[in-house]
Amino acid sequence: MTVPSPSTVRLAALLVGLEGVSGLVAAVAYVVSGLSGNDQPGMNFFGTAAWFAIIGGGVAAAGWALWSGRRWGRGIAVFAQLLLLPVAWYMGVGSHQWVYGGIVAVVALATLGLLFSPSTLQWLAVQDAGQSSAAKADNSGPDTR
């Protein structure tokens, strides 16, 4: 049973997708910096690029999943937002970049608000009900997956 996703899920998908794309852009920037010969002691440009590519790709995939109505993207998206909150704190307190830290915090909190909004939770409940009834219709025996 496919239920169209509400606007809250679509907006969260957009924000999460932009976060993922930002991670991928950061990965490219680190690769370019590494190839250009920038030398910073203790900085591994290619390792950092790989980390941003993996995390950014996963978060971008979660955004795509939410946009296309797949509920598995919500778990990754929630986890990413929860990881961004301490990053925002460090940006403000540790690095004294209050504006950037504030922007990251506001986006993460807004995305969490969208992912836990009543319409999103209702959408998830309807999808859960549809999956369990579909599983019952396919096989009257025990679930052996």
For the chain, the maximum distance between any two Cα atoms, rounded to a whole number of angstroms, is 64
Q: Are the beta carbons of 85 and 105 closer than 8 angstroms?
A: yes
Q: 101-143, pLDDT tens digit by residue? A: 999 999 999 999 999 999 999 999 988 877 765 555 555 556 6
Tell me what the mean pLDDT of segment 30-56 comes to: 91
Q: Are the beta carbons of 8 and 120 closer than 8 angstroms?
A: yes
pTM: 0.83
Tell me what the mean pLDDT of segment 81-93 comes to: 95
Q: Is the pLDDT of residue 7 over 80?
A: yes
CA dihedral 42, 95, 92, 86 (to 10 degrees): 20
Tell me what the mean pLDDT of segment 30-35 comes to: 93
Whole-number pLDDT of residue 127: 83
